């Protein structure tokens, strides 16, 4: 615990970048510590990426507002209908904008009514002409007939002509309806085809919007009725729109975009980076087996997480350079992966070196232990020899004392035998 408190996040970043000899220690860390490090690293990275995304989007929004202010004609929105003062459709295409295709066309319904009225008038004229021709033909046939049979035949002919005229008028009506529908649908279908060819875009029609987002990949129809219900919007014009996207509202819009972008990118990168971690850990695991080094897969995952530190930081720097300068770095993704693999291989080599070093130290320790054991045995033998010598000397000393005692006793006996008795004893 004390070691974890000493190593702050930034210190771990420095260790992960330059201290390869510390990777064996990083591989033995607790999973909670390693995940906390990864979450903080991704949070900082996604903050940088989100800032650059909002910056790019702000430029596009400013360009859009400038276009609305200077080039877009006056418009009004009320009763769920959008009206432009300009009658011709506006089509704006650019790869650099937020939407590659922007179309404003509120003339579709007017064209529909015009087409329908023209077709109805054409239909009525055609029907009337066919009736007049039928009547003239019938009169001529009736005048030429002189008997009842001829009159009956002429009546049958007239009936057939009437039915033919009716059928022809119905066919004309059906054909006119088909052509009318084709003409009415032509503009909307043209815009849909244009959207499908582009990565994204938006089309403003009289009563709805057509939107295509790059991620979704499909065209969504969004009626203005849903917009007015969700935003409580009753009416809007050009000046009100410009006033809305200015000042405090614009700042709040950027803050909202930043928060949403950061949350989205953090979740996206947190999920996608695990694919890199699994690939790096698998590569390191099998590389270690090839080097006859047995490492746990979880330890390789921890090494892989720390090995991605420098690539993530370099990725953030590249994004900043490409956002604020004209510098473009090609094949950076290959470099991103390559750097991580180099770190993993280096960490495995450091662990292998530590294992070899520990083995050598162990061999030296065993050798020293053998020497110490031999020395102890020699000392023990020496002590036993000294004890034996002391014992022998003691025995010799005792023998000498015994001999001296015996000699003394003999002398006393001899002295007692050599004295003559005197006095009464004699």
Distance CA 180, CA 114 (A): 10
Give whichever of 85-94, 158-167, 178-187, 359-368 has the largest mean pLDDT: 85-94
Distance CA 16, CA 39 (A): 15
Is 31 inside any structural domain? yes
Give the single-character DSSP code of 329.
-
Q: What is the pLDDT of residue 216?
A: 54
Q: How confident is the model at residue 268 (pLDDT cuts 50, 70, 90)?
A: very high
Which 3 state secondary structure label does DSSP give 386? Answer: helix
Q: What percent of the chain has pLDDT over 90?
A: 19
Locate the DSSP E strands across 41-128. Answer: 75-78, 81-84, 90-93, 101-104
Integer angstrom CA distances of residue 181 from 31, 171, 187, 220, 426: 65, 15, 11, 22, 181
Least confident of 147-151, 212-216, 336-340, 381-385: 147-151
Pairing relation of β-strands 235-237 and 219-223?
Answer: unpaired
Is 357 inside any structural domain? yes
Find the domain containing 20 and state its range. Answer: 8-68+243-409
Torsion of CA 229, 231, 237, 241, to 10 degrees: -160
- Bigger pLDDT: 107 vs 116: 107
Angle at 45 between CA 39 and CA 51, to 5 degrees: 130
Is 114 inside any structural domain? no
Q: How confident is the model at residue 116 (pLDDT cuts 50, 70, 90)?
A: very low
Is 377 inside any structural domain? yes
Q: Which residues are CB-neighbours of 120 under 8 A, at least 6 positions away?
A: 176
Instruction: Summarize pLDDT for 131-171 with one digit per residue, the tens.
Output: 555 545 544 444 444 445 544 554 555 455 555 545 555 55
Residue 26, pLDDT above cutoff 50: yes
Residue carrying the six token digits 């979740």: 267
Which 3 state secondary structure label does DSSP give 426? Answer: coil
Instruction: Summarize pLDDT for 356-392 with one digit per residue, the tens.
Output: 777 666 667 777 777 787 788 888 888 888 888 888 8
Q: Which residues are CB-neighbours of 109 under 8 A, at least 6 positions away?
A: 206, 207
User: Could you tell me how far CA 404 lies from the centroid of its own chain?
Assistant: 107
Q: What is the pLDDT of residue 283?
A: 92
pTM for this structure? 0.61
Which two tokens mark 376? 């102890």
Which two tokens mark 221? 């129809």
Average pLDDT over the chain reads 76
Q: Which of 121, 132, 117, 126 is nearest to 167 (CA)?
A: 126
Give the single-character DSSP code of 296.
-
Give the chain's domain count: 1
Residue 406, pLDDT above cutoff 80: no
Distance CA 158, CA 133 (A): 11
Q: Are 300 and 285 in contact (CB under 8 A)?
A: yes
Is 99 inside any structural domain? no
From edge to edge, which strands make up the β-sheet containing 219-223? Answer: 90-93, 101-104, 201-204, 208-212, 219-223
Total count of residues recorded for the chain:
426
- Bigger pLDDT: 276 vs 234: 276
- Bigger pLDDT: 101 vs 184: 101
Which two tokens mark 7? 């190593």
Distance CA 37, CA 301 (A): 13
Which two tokens mark 311? 């690539």
Q: Are 207 and 224 in contact (CB under 8 A)?
A: yes
Three-state SS letters, 180-234: HHHHHHHHHHHHHHHHHHCCCEEEECCCEEEEECCCCCCEEEEEHHHHHHHHCCC
Output the furthest CA–CA distance in the chain (Å, rounded): 228
Half-sphere exposure of 415 (CA within 13 A, CB side): 6
Residue 198, pLDDT above cutoff 90: no
Distance CA 26, CA 23 (A): 5
């Amino acid at each position: 615990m004390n070691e974890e408190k000493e190593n702050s996040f930034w210190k771990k970043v420095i260790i992960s970048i330059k201290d390869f000899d510390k990777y064996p220690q990083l591989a033995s860390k607790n999973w909670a510590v390693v995940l906390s490090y990864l979450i903080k690293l991704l949070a900082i990275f996604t903050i940088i990426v989100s800032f650059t995304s909002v910056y790019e989007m702000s430029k596009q929004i400013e360009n859009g507002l400038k276009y609305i202010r200077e080039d877009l004609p006056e418009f009004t929105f009320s009763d769920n209908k959008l009206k432009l003062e300009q009658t011709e459709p506006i089509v704006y295409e650019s790869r650099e904008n937020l939407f590659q295709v922007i179309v404003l066309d509120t003339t579709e319904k007017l064209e529909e009514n015009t087409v329908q009225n023209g077709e109805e008038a054409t239909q009525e004229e055609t029907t009337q002409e066919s009736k007049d021709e039928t009547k003239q033909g019938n009169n001529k046939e009736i005048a030429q007939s002189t008997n009842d049979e001829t009159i009956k035949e002429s009546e049958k002919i007239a009936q057939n002509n009437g039915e033919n005229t009716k059928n022809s008028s119905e066919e004309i009506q059906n054909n006119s309806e088909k052509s009318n529908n084709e003409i009415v649908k032509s503009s909307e279908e043209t815009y849909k085809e244009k959207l499908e060819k582009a990565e994204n875009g938006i089309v403003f029609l009289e009563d709805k919007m057509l939107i295509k987002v790059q991620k979704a990949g499909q065209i969504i129809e969004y009626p203005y009725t849903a917009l007015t219900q969700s935003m409580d919007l009753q009416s809007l014009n050009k000046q009100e729109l410009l006033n809305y996207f200015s000042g405090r509202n614009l700042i709040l819009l950027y803050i909202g975009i930043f928060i949403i972008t950061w949350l989205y990118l953090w979740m996206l990168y947190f999920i996608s980076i695990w694919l890199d971690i699994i690939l790096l850990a698998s590569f390191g695991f099998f590389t270690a087996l090839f080097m006859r080094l047995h490492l746990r897969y979880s330890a390789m995952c921890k090494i892989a997480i720390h090995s991605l530190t420098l690539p993530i930081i370099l990725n953030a720097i590249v994004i900043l350079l490409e956002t604020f300068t004209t510098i473009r770095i090609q094949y950076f993704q290959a470099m991103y992966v390559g750097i991580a693999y180099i770190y993993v291989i280096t960490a495995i080599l450091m662990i292998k070196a530590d294992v070899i070093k520990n083995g050598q130290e162990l061999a030296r320790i065993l050798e020293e232990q053998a020497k110490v054991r031999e020395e102890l045995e020699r000392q023990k033998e020496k002590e036993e020899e000294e004890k034996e010598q002391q014992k022998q000397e003691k025995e010799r000393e005792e023998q000498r004392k015994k001999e001296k005692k015996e000699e003394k006793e003999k002398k006393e006996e001899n002295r007692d035998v050599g004295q003559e008795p005197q006095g009464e004893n004699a």
